[in-house]
Amino acid sequence: MTLSGPTPEQWAAAVAAVRSLGADDEIQLICHVNPDGDALGSMLGFGLGLTRLGYTRVRATFPGEFAVPGPYSALPGSALLVPEAEAWTDPRLVAVFDVASESRLGGLAGRLTAAPVSVVLDHHASNTGFGTVRLVDPAAAATSVVAEQLLARLGVRLDAEIAECLYVALATDTGSFKFDMTTVAVHELAARLIATGIRPGEISRRIFDSKPFGAMKLTGEVIGRAVLEPGAAGGRGMVWTYATLADLERHAQQPYVLDTLIDPVRSVAEADVSVVVREVAAGEWSVSLRSKGAVDVSGVAVSQGGGGHRLAAGFTGYGEAAQVVDTVRRLLDEYLN
């Protein structure tokens, strides 16, 4: 695994790919399924940048149901968003954001191979290396860091709309500037974004501190059933819980309200590894893995067809929740014993 970012040749190829386009050429932007703040923020921030350069046919989409999680529904650039079915069928350029593997593109993966040029902007160490121009920087705290660098190389000046998108992406992927990758460069980028006039307090309230009452009750119930296993993960401890579609239905909540459920779970001091298993379809589970530092959870995720980073990773599991957790427990034991 290398931590080196894009080469000068890769940056030049990405800039040339954009500059070779005519103003009316169709450009399709795609981010990962079940989009989060970084996926949407980096994609829409970059898309707005393209419109500032005069490109008129920029569309942005993601695979699956066309439902933007509540906190991100008012992002600037949302006018560029279209449902998967309305994505350009034959675009001149495809750019993908925050996508570690083609499987995260669902039914849109074919768009990539069909386009003459596909630019991949990402920061997952587990990125599988697809696309014709790869801007993958595992040392970047968010895909928006890569997006901002490409915008700068294209001569796009940051304005408040672009900045808000990139800030939301940066704030979500760094856990509000808490995680390990929160470097001097991250704070410098945040400073440049804030200098455009955006209001971090207001944005943070909207993104992080605004959920329906029912979401709190649901979260309480799911946290109430968490299990601590001090002996798991080679004695480093594991804490886990799960949420079903029936839980969501009982509390009349949208799936996105559980996107941050891992945060209270991973705060448990007695466990290095935390696991949240969320049902996304009957018998299909989105598995979130976190480590405080002792365990590389991306190894577990990648072995199950998922991906992520050393301390934050995920995969899709099948069967019963308990079976999925059994698999994680067994894989951790294999890695650590």
> Applying CB under 6 A, which residues contact ligand AMP?
100-101, 104, 124, 262, 288, 306-309, 312-316
Largest CA-CA distance found in the chain, in angstroms, rounded: 60
Q: How far is the CB of 141 from ligand AMP (least distance, A)?
A: 11
Q: What does 75-134 look like in DSSP terms, one character per residue?
A: -TTGGGB--GGGS-SS-SEEEEES-SSGGGGGGGHHHHHHSSEEEEEE--TT----SSEE
Pairing verdict, β 227-229 and 133-136: unpaired
* Separation CA 201–CA 100 (nearest Å): 30
CA distances from 164 to 71, 177, 243, 249, 260 (A): 13, 15, 31, 32, 20
Q: At what angle do helices 37-52 and 160-173 cross, to 10 degrees?
A: 160
With beta carbons less than 8 A apart as the criterion, state whether 326 and 333 touch: no
Cβ 70 vs Cβ 40: under 8 Å: no
Q: Give least dist CB 172 to ligand AMP, A.
A: 9
Interacting partner of 279 out of ligand AMP, Mn ion, none (Cβ under 5 to 8 A depending on kind): none
Choosing from 30, 39, 94, 297, the residue that interacts with Mn ion (CB under 5 A) is 39
Of 50-58, 68-76, 96-104, 145-153: span binding Mn ion (CB under 5 A): 96-104
List alpha helices for 128-257, DSSP H: 143-153, 160-173, 184-194, 200-208, 213-224, 245-250
CB-CB neighbours of 332 under 10 Å: 24
> At its nearest, how many Å lie between ligand AMP and the CB of residue 298?
8
Residue 143 Cβ vs Mn ion, minimum distance, rounded to whole Å: 5
Q: Out of 17, 21, 26, 38, name the contact with Mn ion by CB under 5 A.
A: 38
Which one of Mn ion, ligand AMP, none is in contact with 39 (Cβ closer than 5 to 8 A by kind)?
Mn ion
Q: Which residue lies nearer to Mn ion by CB, 32 or 236?
A: 32
| Shortest reach from residue 69's CB to Mn ion, in Å | 12
The residue whose Cβ lies closest to ligand AMP is 314
Determine the length of the chain: 337
Q: 237 contacts which partner out of Mn ion, ligand AMP, none, CB within 5 to 8 A by kind?
A: none
Q: Whose Cβ is closer to Mn ion: residue 39's or residue 120's?
A: 39
CB of 309 to ligand AMP, least distance (A): 6
Report the alpha-carbon distance of residue 24 to residue 57 in Å, rounded: 6
Residue nearest to Mn ion (CB): 38
Kindly tell me which of 38 and 137 has the beta carbon lying closer to Mn ion.
38
Q: Considering only residues 159-188, where is the footprint of Mn ion by CB under 5 A? A: 173
**Residue 111 interaction partner, one of ligand AMP, Mn ion, none, beta carbon < 5-8 Å per kind:** none
131 sits in the region (left: phi over 0; alpha: psi -120 to 50; else beta) called: left
Query: Which of Mn ion, ligand AMP, none is residue 38 near (CB under 5 to 8 Å by kind)?
Result: Mn ion
Site for Mn ion contains 272 (CB under 5 A): no
The DSSP secondary-structure symbol of 237 reads -
Chain residues that interact with Mn ion, rule: CB under 5 A: 36, 38-39, 98, 143, 173
